[in-house]
Amino acid sequence: MAINDVEQEQLNTVDIRQLFKIILRRRFLILGIAGVVMSTAGILAFIAKPNYQSSMELLVRSNLYTNTKSSNNSTDANSNFTNSNTEVIDYTAQLQLMLSNHLIEKAVVILRPDYPDIKIEDIKGKLTVAGVESGTGINRTPSQVFEIKYKNHDPIKTQRVLQTLLKVYQDYNIEQQKQRLTKGMTFVNERLPKVKISVATAESNLEAFRKKHNILDPEAQSKILLENLADTQKQLQTTRAQLQDVQARYTALQDKLAASPSSAMISSRLSQSTRYQTLLNEIQKTELALAQERIRYTDDSPVVQKLVQQRKNQLALLKQEVTRALAFQTGKKVSQLRNSEIDAVINQALKQSASNESLLAEGQMAEVDIKLVEEVIQVQTTALGLEANEKSLSNSEKRLRFELAKYPGLIAEYNRLLPEVETNRKTLEQLMQTQQSLSLQLAQGGFDWQTLEAPERGIYTGSGRSLILGGGAIAAPIIAIVVALILEMLNDSIHTSYELQRITNLRLLGIVPKLAKNYKRKRALLTECSTEVLITRMGGLSVASLPSHENLDMAYQNINILNSPLPYKSLMVTSANFGEGKSTVTLGLAVSSARTHHRVLIIDANLREPSLHKYLDLQNEWGLSLLLVDEAHSTFKDYIQPIHPSIDVLTAGPPELEDTVKLLSSRRMKELLKEFEQNYDLILVDAPPILNTVDARILATLCNAIVIIARLGQITRAELTQTKEILENLNLIGIIANQATNR
């Protein structure tokens, strides 16, 4: 986090420095724009006229609202609230009307005889209307007082304009108020019959509803039904509790009755039956006879078979008697009794028929069981009564619930009809009150205008010259700097060496200032710090002034430092476009190298548009182009032109002799560079721009090192980036900033 903060602080510092550099670089533009703004402000201040202001205060009080409120003091709070809101809305509209073109045009018509050139804009543009507020702080509220101010260069005119506006306001408000009241009365008169019809319709609908359902008030009737339902539910709850008690008692008696021997009870009941005893006696007699006959006869004997059949018939009759007794004892139906139960009772009865003591004991016990049975029957009867009561109460509850289910819809319909009647009645009452109120207002009149402060002769408020000059003094530098920054943003050029190095991420070899180009003939001037050399050519004496500067020496030394581990002799000097000073820098590097006692060869490799011979005032009838096409392979020294004891120049030669791409990419070019490296300590190749032709790209592959010359203020970021991308994979050692300012 600390490193990021430091980096951010450094970036902010750099941005501020860049801002100051931009301002310094555009200082003449900024001064010019600021001067224009200040001049304009001075002219405006000089021609500014003195201003005068007149004002008046009006109290706009309505008799209509006052009388309405006083007549409605006995009404509810809602009426007062409505009147209050209406008053605020009317005063707000009044404020807008005072500034309307319609009213101001009326004032212009009245003032035109005295001021023929007056227009609506002359009044509206300098007229201010504001409501005076009462109270303090958050309790400030608009009052009924309006303050009207008018400014003009003529103090008398300010007073006349306000007086005319006062008359226009008064006439217009009286006229408009009468029109509004008349419209209101017309509206009320048109609305009253419709409201009366609505009241009659609503009342008729409510009466039809009551007759249809035979109900006056569904809500009251529903409350009565709810009370009945609650009483029924309470009785039903009590009955169910009693029924539970009876059912519990019945269950206990059933259990007690089940605990007594049922066979003895049944036998006791059967013993009381004469038919039952007779059947038993007959069966005993038949069995006795059957036993005697079987001793004498076999089972196939007709006598035996007759007795067997007789016994079956007697048993069937006995079974019917036992079945009736058993059904009565158990409380079951005859169809529900099982044959096994009946057979068991019959068998037991047959076994016990021979013992009179056993029958007597069972008869005594049966008397107790019969009482239990009677008590069970009594409890069962009570339970049946309670069940019938419960069923009746349940039906009543269902009926009440069914009735109550209808009431929500009835109540909803009733609540829709009743408010409709009340609303229409209230609307009718309000319309009738409004009709009376409007009639009273029409008789009394409209607004009551009172002048609290009459308009007077305009008071001098100043000419605004100081404000204009002060505003110009503040706005001038701001506008100038903003314009300069906008132009800087629109301009893609690079102006600082820092930005040059940041964009390319290359080593900055040197920063060269703007060098003067002085080409002199036929005179010599040698000083200790000059780089002028004496040239003897074509039998005449010619002196050329070569560029020289301490920064060029530093750039050359930086190149030598990079040259130390792997020395190279051929150095190509190029740029992105024409006019960036690469030829001048090339000559300066040659001078710096010559000072260190190195032999230097400068080659003008721009075969399409050569220019080095023009800078040095040399002949160009022979040069590199002829040397490359020379079939005789003459020595290169015949094409060399010395300009200094340590500096030789190979001009480009006549242009358009042959295809330049073919010449520069030829084998002859590579051989010449090797031969030059054997005879010179440094070969400086003044190559054409990278972005214009392919020639420089071919030369870049032949030279040991490449240096880019970038002219500050001319080269753009896009051009520099494109140039760097082209030479990036070659031996690009750095960049030199050319024509930098001292600052």
In sequence order, what are the beta bridge partners of 56?
Answer: 148
Residue 548 backbone dihedrals phi, psi, to 5 degrees = -150, 140
pLDDT score, position 76:
45
Please determine, for residue 544, whether its predicted confidence score (pLDDT) is greater than 60: no
Give DSSP secondary structure letters for 260-311.
Answer: S-HHHHHHHHHHT-HHHHHHHHHHHHHHHHHHHHHHHS-TTSHHHHHHHHHH
Q: Which secondary-structure segment (H or E) carries 202? A: helix 155-213
Give DSSP secondary structure letters for 345-377.
Answer: HHHHHHHHTT-HHHHHHHHHHHHHHHHHHHHHH
pLDDT score, position 490:
72
The two tokens of residue 41 are 């402000």
The band of 633, judged by pLDDT with boundaries at 50, 70 and 90, is: low
Integer angstrom CA distances of residue 685 from 411, 612, 614: 108, 11, 17
Neighbours of 640 (CB within 10 A): 17
**pLDDT tens digits, 307-365:** 888 888 878 877 777 777 666 666 666 665 666 666 666 676 666 555 544 444 444 44
Which of 592, 566, 448 is CA-nearest to residue 512? 592
The two tokens of residue 488 are 């800087």
Q: For residues 525 and 595, which has the higher predicted lDDT (pLDDT)?
A: 595
Please determine, for residue 522, whether its predicted confidence score (pLDDT) is greater than 50: no
Please determine, for residue 662, whether its predicted confidence score (pLDDT) is greater than 60: yes
The band of 210, judged by pLDDT with boundaries at 50, 70 and 90, is: confident
Decide if 365 contacts 260 (C-beta within 8 A). yes
Read off the DSSP letter of residue 63.
H
Neighbours of 286 (CB within 10 A): 19
Q: For residues 373 and 287, which has the higher predicted lDDT (pLDDT)?
A: 287
Give DSSP secondary structure letters for 582-621.
Answer: HHHHHHHHHHHHHHTT--EEEEE---SS--HHHHHT---S
Percent composition of the chain: helix, strand, coil (DSSP 3-state, to 5): 65, 15, 20
Please determine, for residue 224, whether its predicted confidence score (pLDDT) is greater than 60: yes
The two tokens of residue 448 are 């009551």
Decide if 87 contacts 62 (C-beta within 8 A). yes
pLDDT score, position 525:
34
Please state the rounded mean pLDDT for residues 7-13.
45
Q: For residues 51 and 71, which has the higher predicted lDDT (pLDDT)?
A: 51
Decide if 244 contacts 238 (C-beta within 8 A). no
Place of tokens 């207002």: 441
The band of 88, judged by pLDDT with boundaries at 50, 70 and 90, is: very low
Lowest mean pLDDT, pick from 485-494, 596-605, 647-656 = 485-494
Please determine, for residue 60, whether its predicted confidence score (pLDDT) is greater than 80: no
Please state the rounded mean pLDDT for residues 81-105.
64
649/588 Cα distance (integer angstroms): 13
519/587 Cα distance (integer angstroms): 13
Which of 495, 607, 457 is CA-nearest to residue 56? 457
Please determine, for residue 124, whether its predicted confidence score (pLDDT) is greater than 90: no
- Cα dihedral value 203, 206, 211, 216, nearest 10: -110
The two tokens of residue 125 are 């543009």
The band of 292, judged by pLDDT with boundaries at 50, 70 and 90, is: confident
- Cα dihedral value 87, 89, 95, 100, nearest 10: -130
pLDDT score, position 272:
59
In sequence order, what are the beta bridge partners of 53?
Answer: 151, 459
The two tokens of residue 434 are 């409004």
The separation between the first and the last C-alpha atoms of the chain, rounded to the nearest angstrom, is 35
697/685 Cα distance (integer angstroms): 13
pLDDT score, position 687:
92
Residue 609 backbone dihedrals phi, psi, to 5 degrees = -135, 75
Burial of 334 (0-12, 13-18, 19+ CB in 10 A): exposed
Please determine, for residue 65, whether its predicted confidence score (pLDDT) is greater than 60: no
Please state the rounded mean pLDDT for residues 11-22.
63
Q: For residues 638 and 72, which has the higher predicted lDDT (pLDDT)?
A: 638
What does CATH list as the number for 51-161+445-462?
Answer: 3.30.1890
Model pTM? Answer: 0.45
Q: For residues 685 and 180, which has the higher predicted lDDT (pLDDT)?
A: 685
pLDDT score, position 648:
94
Mean pLDDT, all residues of the chain: 75
In sequence order, what are the beta bridge partners of 686?
Answer: 573, 604
Q: Which secondary-structure segment (H or E) carries 134? A: strand 127-134
pLDDT score, position 211:
78
Please determine, for residue 566, whether its predicted confidence score (pLDDT) is greater than 60: no
Which of 423, 505, 418 is CA-nearest to residue 210? 418
pLDDT score, position 602:
95
Pairing of strands 141-152, 51-62: antiparallel
532/554 Cα distance (integer angstroms): 20
pLDDT score, position 245:
86
Integer angstrom CA distances of residue 635 from 222, 454, 632: 132, 110, 9
Could you give the angle at the alpha carbon of 13 between the alpha carbons of 10 and 17, nearest 5°? 140
Q: For residues 684 and 412, which has the higher predicted lDDT (pLDDT)?
A: 684
pLDDT score, position 12:
44
623/162 Cα distance (integer angstroms): 93
pLDDT score, position 71:
45
Lowest mean pLDDT, pick from 61-65, 405-409, 570-574 = 61-65
Integer angstrom CA distances of residue 727 from 79, 212, 708: 90, 104, 9
707/556 Cα distance (integer angstroms): 11
pLDDT score, position 69:
45
- Cα dihedral value 557, 558, 562, 566, nearest 10: -20
**pLDDT tens digits, 497-519:** 888 888 888 888 888 887 765 44
The band of 182, judged by pLDDT with boundaries at 50, 70 and 90, is: confident
Share of the chain above pLDDT 90, in %: 7
Two domains, one topology: 51-161+445-462 and 497-740: no
Please determine, for residue 4, whether its predicted confidence score (pLDDT) is greater than 80: no
Query: Residue 693 in 3-state DSSP?
Result: coil
Which of 459, 723, 439, 424 is CA-nearest to residue 572? 723
559/556 Cα distance (integer angstroms): 5
pLDDT score, position 534:
37
Which of 353, 348, 323 is CA-nearest to residue 337? 323
For the chain, the farthest-separated pair of C-alpha atoms sits apart, in whole angstroms, at 196
Domain boundaries, the chain: 2-48+472-490, 51-161+445-462, 497-740
Integer angstrom CA distances of residue 279 from 319, 342, 411, 518, 660: 10, 16, 78, 171, 156
Query: Residue 109 in 3-state DSSP?
Result: helix
pLDDT score, position 271:
60
Answer yes or no: CATH 3.40.50.300 is held by domain 497-740: yes
Please state the rounded mean pLDDT for residues 699-709.
91
430/76 Cα distance (integer angstroms): 12
pLDDT score, position 268:
57
Residue 735 backbone dihedrals phi, psi, to 5 degrees = -140, 150
Decide if 350 contacts 280 (C-beta within 8 A). yes
